Amino acid sequence: MRLADTLGFAWQVVRGSPGRTLLILLAMGIGVAAVVAVSSIGEGARLYVVNQFGSLGTHLVIVLPGRSETAGSMPGVLIGKTPRDLTLEDALALKRSPAVRRLAPLIVGAGDVRVGARSRETPVLGSTAELMDIRHMEMAQGQFLPPGDPRHSQPVCVVGAKVAAELFGARRALGEWLRIGDRRFRVVGVLASQGESLGFNTDEIVIVPLAAAQALFNTEALFRVLVEAKSREQIAYAQSDIEEILRERHDGKREVTVVTQDAVLATFDRILRALTLAVGGLAAISLAVAGILIMNVMLISVTQRRHEIGLLKALGATGLNIRLIFLSEAVLLALGGAALGLTVGKLGQLFIGQLFPSIPFTAPWWAVIAAPLTAIATAVLFSVAPARRAARLDPVRALSKR
């Protein structure tokens, strides 16, 4: 029997019982659609996180005080004694590296911010003018911190949009004074609303010059140094330069951790990829359910079509012919189900995309390939038993009315 004729015959069967066909198409379709939709949600989340990191600043290298083998463990704990602080002079020394374009030292604390009778506890960041470019911050009004020697400071500050609204109400914040602890700062700029980045909601912070923050929190120790490499290729050089310079300054001891944005990103990337794979795999279980349904329907079909199978044998069909007819039937159904599923999955993805426009939902290529292949594989796998049963039918008995 020719392949085209086998497929043609199977096609006639599939068309001949639309109810049964529809049922299987639905089961297969739901399975494939689930895999595509679920994995595209996972992939969307991954891309969203990656983009968020991208918005942190492009070629970012972060210097943390204390040594740790991985970015995740607690710095300092392993060594047993408190390491020496990371200071402003350390940070300024990093400018010696040719791979470094600019850097921003960072001090973080919580401050009681007051304007007249109104008061609010907010995170206070001490940094320099470079922070704006490194973190890609944008101003709604006014200027960022003025450039200049970070060792000395002017009594100015930049406030987040929400902080400005809470402290000044409808009044214009720009040019007004506010108090943090016992110090007064003039508002020179209001940050544009940007949302979360690197653990801070920029709407809810106050940024003051580094020296002012040192005085406010009575510390020389830096929380972080954000360093921007000159290019993507220079990140590795910047990293080793930084380690080298700081080791030199700290009497040959490695007392800092240098994290590149790539490393953090790669970790998130791995976690979210694994998650996507896991949920995609869970959805694929529904394909196995669909496969069992196909097997049931096929077994019923073998019983219902006993006469036809007996007839085909009487007309000269071999066992192989019969098996191939049943398998092609399953493959046709699976192909139809896969096509339906891919379409529905794609529509579902577009629909969720409409609901959450900021998240880039896309079905990963492996899901688009694996889902229909799994559908076809399960269909074939689960039709082997029914097809064998059909091929083994005794034609005399199958044809008799008994």
Partner 1 sequence: MIRLSGIERVFRVGEEEVHALRGVNLEIARGEYLSLMGPSGSGKSTLLNVIGLLDRPNAGRYALDGRDVTGLDDDALSRVRREKIGFVFQFFHLVARLTAEQNIELPMVLAGIDPAERRTRLARLLAEYGLEARARHRPDQLSGGQCQRVAIARAMSMRPTVILADEPTGNLDRHTGQEVMAVLEGVHHAGGTVMVVTHDGEIGARAHRRLRMVDGAIVSDERGAGGGHGGT
Using CA atoms, how far residue 70 sits from 62, 75, 273, in Å, is 13, 9, 20
Residue 81 or residue 401: which is nearer to partner 1 going by CB?
A: 401
Figure out which of the listed residues 318, 347, 356, 358 binds partner 1, where binding follows CB under 8 A.
318
Site string for partner 1, 257-296 (x = CB under 8 A): ----------------------------------------
Figure out which of the listed residues 246, 295, 312, 375 binds partner 1, where binding follows CB under 8 A.
312
Using CA atoms, how far residue 161 sits from 180, 194, 320, in Å, is 17, 9, 75
What token pair was written down for 213? 């923050």
Under the binding rule (CB under 8 A), the answer on residue 355 touching partner 1 is no
Give 355's strand partners. Answer: none
Residue 83 or residue 319: which is nearer to partner 1 going by CB?
A: 319
Residue 270 or residue 307: which is nearer to partner 1 going by CB?
A: 307
Under the binding rule (CB under 8 A), the answer on residue 303 touching partner 1 is no
Rounded to a whole number of angstroms, the minimum distance from the CB of residue 5 to partner 1 is 5
Q: How far apart are CA 335 and CA 160, in angstroms?
A: 55
**Is the Cβ–Cβ distance between 258 and 99 less than 8 Å?**
no
Rounded to a whole number of angstroms, the minimum distance from the CB of residue 384 to partner 1 is 18
**Of residues 128-167, which lie at the interface with partner 1 (CB under 8 A)?**
none
Rounded to a whole number of angstroms, the minimum distance from the CB of residue 301 to partner 1 is 13
Stretch of residues binding partner 1 (CB under 8 A), selected from 85-93, 166-174, 308-316, 342-350: 308-316
**Of residues 7-36, which lie at the interface with partner 1 (CB under 8 A)?**
9, 12-13, 16
Residue 166 or residue 308: which is nearer to partner 1 going by CB?
A: 308
What token pair was written down for 196? 């979360």
DSSP letters for 165-222: HHHHTTS--TT-EEEETTEEEEEEEEEPP--EETTEEGGG-EEEEHHHHHHHHT----
| Per-residue exposure over 160-198, b if at least 16 CB sit within 10 Å of its own CB, e if not | bbbbbebbbeeeebbebebebeeeebebbbbbeebeebb
Q: How many residues make contact with partner 1 (CB under 8 A)?
A: 24
Figure out which of the listed residues 7, 50, 108, 311 binds partner 1, where binding follows CB under 8 A.
311
Rounded to a whole number of angstroms, the minimum distance from the CB of residue 12 to partner 1 is 6
Using CA atoms, how far residue 111 sits from 43, 120, 125, in Å, is 39, 8, 10
Give 208's strand partners. Answer: 126
User: Which stretches of the chain bind partner 1, using CB under 8 A?
Assistant: 1-2, 5, 9, 12-13, 16, 307-308, 311-321, 395-396, 399, 401
